[in-house]
Amino acid sequence: MRVPLTIGVFILLLAVRQTHTTDSSSAHDTSQERSVNIQKRRLSLQNTAEIQQCLVNAGDVGCGMFECFNNNSCEIRGLHDICMTFLHNAGKFDSQGKSFIKDALKCMAHGLRHRFSCVSRKCLAVKEMVFQLQRECYVKHNLCSAVSENVNVMVEMIHFKDLFPKGPHVELVNVLLGCGEEVRVAIGRRIRTQCEQNWGALCGSLSLCALGKVESQASPTLAPVPDITTPPGANSNSLPPASLHLPEPDGEPAWTLTGGDEDERQSSGPQDNAAEVEKELKRALNATKRR
């Protein structure tokens, strides 16, 4: 009788100990997950210092400036890829398209270098700064006018896989969706075709961008923005109405492009020498390849 009782007590103690160990392990795992989630909500001090140093050291030519935002705790990706795609396809654009690429990339590089040190380390704030800068530079240097004669080239640069998760590629598409019916239809056809290649018939119900019109039930990820084509008599470099700007997260102040150096204030008018622009774009691409 004594032996079974001893065994029973031993098993009971073992079960209690195992439960305690499991609870401790579970609590440790939960603590680790919470720590990772907190890290993803803001840039670490190390990431912040690394990005700041990278921005200072990056050259003004090529895509090195945008590469500074790869591989960090906020997972801000896409800027470098967009830059490389623009440079690799620059030769397919007409002179106005080449001027847009040169001026828009310069505008973004200048903005990132000057604004990053002033923004909060919160991931939402950093991402919104990047997205806001994208919108401002695309509108300031008249993306819609540049794409009007280069629709097919621009649409070929859009890839369905780049639209998830939401990032710089989605901001580019959102601005393009405001560039008129022809562009909307072309983008809708491109995205739907690529979506069906990945997800099949499911994509038929998404209505990302209906042919001939924009559906009221369009996907929120690719919600079209109001038309931002330049109104008659307006300055081609003027910013769109304030209503186009997305709400700022966590009460962060809105950024506006109100200054900058003389290079950034200059327009990319037809008087620009197309040959010089193409030469500069090739120099930028070569500089990036050397990295």
In a domain, 110, yes or no: yes
For residue 91, what pLDDT is reported?
96
In a domain, 248, yes or no: no
Pick from 232, 265, 282: which residue ends a domain? 232
Residue closest to 105 by CA, chosen among 149, 73, 58, 152: 58
Pick from 107, 141, 175: which residue ends a domain? 141
Pick from 232, 267, 286: which residue ends a domain? 232
Domain count across the chain = 2
For residue 221, what pLDDT is reported?
43
Task: Give residue 5's identity as a one-letter amino acid code.
Answer: L
Q: What is the DSSP string of 24-93?
A: HHHHHHHHHHHHHHHHHHB--HHHHHHHHHHHHHS-SSSSHHHHTTSSSTT---SHHHHHHHHHHHGGGS
Helix/strand/coil for 199? helix
In a domain, 125, yes or no: yes
Burial class (CB in 10 A: 0-12, 13-18, 19+), 92: middle
For residue 219, the enclosing domain spans 143-232
Q: How far apart are CA 73 and CA 44, in angstroms?
A: 7
Residues 135 and 47 grouped into a single domain = yes
Residues 112 and 186 grouped into a single domain = no
What pTM, to 2 d.p., does this model score?
0.63
Q: How far apart are CA 75 and CA 122, in angstroms?
A: 12
Q: How far apart are CA 286 and CA 283, in angstroms?
A: 5
**pLDDT averaged per 10 residues in sequence order, the chain, 291 residues:** 46 49 50 50 89 89 90 88 97 97 96 93 94 97 97 96 93 96 95 90 65 41 45 44 36 36 43 64 71 60
